[in-house]
Amino acid sequence: MPCVLFPLILAACTAGKAPVDPIDDQVEEDSRPPIARIEPVVDTYHGVEVSDPYRWLEVWDDPEVRAWSDAQDAFARQVLAQLPGREALAADLSRLMGAERTSYRDVTFGGERIFAKRHAPPKQQPVLVELLGLEADAEHRVLLGPETFDADGLVTIDWFVPSPDGSKIAVSLSRGGTESGDLYILDVETTEALEEPIPRVNGGTAGGVAAWTADGAQLLYSRYPRGGERPAEDMLFYVQLYRHTLGTDPATDVLDLEAELPRIAEIDLEAHHATGRFLVTVQDGDGGAFSHWLREPDGTHRKLSTFGDRTVMITFSEDGSELYAVSFADAPRGRILRLPIDGTVAEATEVVAEGSDVVVPSFWATPSVRELGGRLFVEYQTGGPSELRVFDRSGAPAPGPEQPPVGALGSMVPTPDGKLLFSGGSFVQPWGWSLYDPTAETTTPTGLNEPPPVDLSGVEVRRELATSKDGTEIPLNLLLPEGVQLDGSNPCIVTGYGGYGVNLTPHLALDRAPLLANGVIYVVANLRGGGELGETWHEQGMLTHKQNVFDDLYAVLTHLVERGYTSPERTGLIGGSNGGLLMGATLTQHPDAAAAVVSAVGIYDMLRVELSPNGAFNITEFGTVTDPAQFEAMYAYSPYHHVVDGTRYPPILFTTGSNDPRVDPMQSRKMMARLQAAAAPGSGPLLLRTSHDAGHGSGTPLRERISLRADQLSFLLHHIGVDYTPMQP
């Protein structure tokens, strides 16, 4: 297969090129969407009256709201379609993202069998396969292709889990970006469904999980309320752990964990089939605290830790006779504890003390601590990048696998023959899988790795520190094309997130290649609110400290200008979800900090977040308006409430999905309506693009991912003064 090579020299975006005039000046006046009518609703919070002029835009079932949204979308697409270079960029993205190359995610074992999600563009969705080996020439067998359910690529695999012997596999499937998944149980040999699907096992923020009993006869799984069990406003909450026996009606499944869980609980499971035990982890909402239970083979549960003791992860030892825990108690960067299988965290002893880097807590992923062959394999965060470190059972450092510099670690999967299969990559190296043999101390790439359709070896990766408003040093990662001069003239795109303890780790993103080929500096900022420097780093960017995140990004932007990398006129910002809140706060607090802003599936009205169908999951991260101090903090930065009439705002593109189960699309509708009404002459364009049959991003078909990215990036490039030059095939 051909590999696209390019030298990453500066293209037609020559130094000093002036940003262009707004493209929507070329659009006919009568094609513009109507300005939303103002119909104020006044709420009183702790004695403070707050007006909401666009409350009516929250009601998606209202035909007027849909008509307004459709008109906004049509106008946005009309403007975006006229952007110079948009079609050339879309062609390059199609060639890169749609290239016929294979990659694998979620590789796991069921007995001696190997299973994975196989990504093979131009297929719209990954398929579930059985791999017949890890060698380059090993064959695979498709077990389930979502296109058999929907030829348009709207059905996606949320997750899967094989039975202990690999003869059966449970798969959660959802449609249209809703992430509302039903559980299908397949016979691996025949690929036929063994019974009717189990409904409502997966959701948006709270996700879903399943695990098999040792004999493969039963499944533990997450279950959301079904019709009549809860009021309508609670149907996305109160997830519980249920048990299903194969061959029986799912309606007769029984509650397995009889504990009173929070309304916003999220559940994860780990099985140890040799002992028949399970670990049950419960998180108190997104970004919240954890508690843990041990399920014995007889079905009884014993609590190991509480929400208050700051134990963020517990996992089994290799033989299941002990447990390992990651604790943030008096150790915000994490320490590793060992406890007896019949004990609790209170009886744990320290194995690896807190160090200068951060032990990664894992949730919805393979454990970040694994015991294999008498050694502990531990994932550490180093301020953005992550790496695998190895210790013996006493906690002393031991030899480990080879890893890329400034890279990131993914899954760690023990193999049946005692090796460690792990994934990783970097900003310039593609995600791939390697085998580490702890006996021979050798690292061998597997046949699951294919070269990307582009060569980024000419990109320089730098890590620097910006100083935030309160003096805190903020890490940033710069991807520099060849030939960059520090004269302030370079086009630059900056992204960040800063929330929920999420780490922005290095990875090769194919959609950055056209930017770098056109001389654009790409910057990834590791802001507070993330977990890159530990739990204190997270806490300094949540609840009443959320303003720190926005100050951090502004410090990064200031740093880039002061160091001569770029200027505000040549800087574009892009972020999504919680990173969309970051975009909204930045454009309202510093409307002159960047030449253009793209915000995807963002949050803007902080006073209404918790009232959305899925919004209560965010209370542990953002706070609640029922608490006076938290209300004051949220109101102080809420982007929707800080749009100022008569302000000249930069060009802004909001993108959202009509089926988003995590962030209500009304957030984007209301914020854009407010911006369009308030913006001074000369602002804009101010655009709202809505993807139908899509949600928060998960499960979006490949063609829509390409189209959306072409719109987002061409919008930024146009407004930071880049005349896009196609890449050389």
Q: Give the pLDDT band (50/70/90) at residue 698.
A: low
Strands 198-202 and 322-327: unpaired
The pLDDT value given to residue 26: 53
Whether pLDDT at 87 is above 90: yes
The pLDDT value given to residue 22: 46
β-bridge partners, 117: 105, 128
Residue ranges of domains in the chain:
42-96+454-719
Whether pLDDT at 567 is above 90: yes
| Residue scoring higher pLDDT (600 or 205) | 600
Q: Give the pLDDT band (50/70/90) at residue 5.
A: very low
Mean pLDDT value across residues 279-283:
96
pLDDT tens sequence across 431-467? 889 999 999 999 999 988 877 778 898 999 999 999 9
pTM for this prediction: 0.90
Q: Give the pLDDT band (50/70/90) at residue 558.
A: very high
Q: Give the pLDDT band (50/70/90) at residue 213.
A: very high
Whether pLDDT at 64 is above 50: yes
The pLDDT value given to residue 250: 95
CA distance 699 to 202: 13
User: What is the average pLDDT value for the chain, to the nearest integer?
Assistant: 90
Burial 521-559 (b: 16+ CB within 10 A, else e): bbbbbbbbbbbbbbbebbbbbbbbebebbbbbbbbbbbb
Whether pLDDT at 20 is above 60: no
Whether pLDDT at 327 is above 50: yes
Whether pLDDT at 705 is above 70: yes
Mean pLDDT value across residues 537-552:
98
- List, as own/partner pairs, every contact residues 270-276 make where C-beta atoms lie below 8 angstroms and the sequence separation is at least 24, other chains included: 270/211, 270/315, 270/316, 270/367, 271/164, 271/211, 271/212, 271/213, 271/214, 272/316, 272/320, 273/164, 273/212, 273/214, 274/214, 274/319, 274/320, 275/316, 275/320, 275/321, 276/213, 276/214
Window from 167-181, 241-255, 590-604, 644-658 with minimum mean pLDDT: 167-181
The pLDDT value given to residue 295: 98
The pLDDT value given to residue 657: 84
Whether pLDDT at 2 is above 60: no
CA distance 188 to 27: 55
The pLDDT value given to residue 474: 98
Q: Give the pLDDT band (50/70/90) at residue 14.
A: very low
Residue type at position 494: V
Q: Give the pLDDT band (50/70/90) at residue 405.
A: confident
Whether pLDDT at 118 is above 70: yes
| Residue scoring higher pLDDT (303 or 8) | 303
Residue 109 in tokens: 């074992």
| Residue scoring higher pLDDT (722 or 365) | 722
Whether pLDDT at 154 is above 90: no
| Residue scoring higher pLDDT (265 or 287) | 265
DSSP SS3 for 158: strand
Whether pLDDT at 15 is above 90: no
Mean pLDDT value across residues 129-157:
85
> Which of 323, 321, 342, 324 has its CA nearest to residue 334?
324
Q: Percent of the chain beyond pLDDT 70?
A: 94
Mean pLDDT value across residues 235-260:
95
The pLDDT value given to residue 21: 47
CA distance 302 to 300: 7
pLDDT tens sequence across 607-638? 999 998 788 889 999 999 999 999 999 999 99
CA distance 251 to 272: 27
The pLDDT value given to residue 6: 26
Architecture, CATH, for domain 42-96+454-719 = 3-Layer(aba) Sandwich (3.40)
* DSSP string across 570-637: GEEEEEETHHHHHHHHHHHH-TTS-SEEEEES----TTTGGGSTTGGGGHHHH--TTSHHHHHHHHHH
Window from 81-90, 356-365, 398-407 with minimum mean pLDDT: 356-365
The pLDDT value given to residue 17: 36
Whether pLDDT at 19 is above 50: no
Mean pLDDT value across residues 674-686:
94
Per-residue three-class SS string for 212-263: ECCCCCEEEEEECCCCCCCCHHHCCCCCEEEEEECCCCHHHCEECCCCCCCC
Whether pLDDT at 509 is above 80: yes
Q: Are 543 and 624 in contact (CB under 8 A)?
A: no
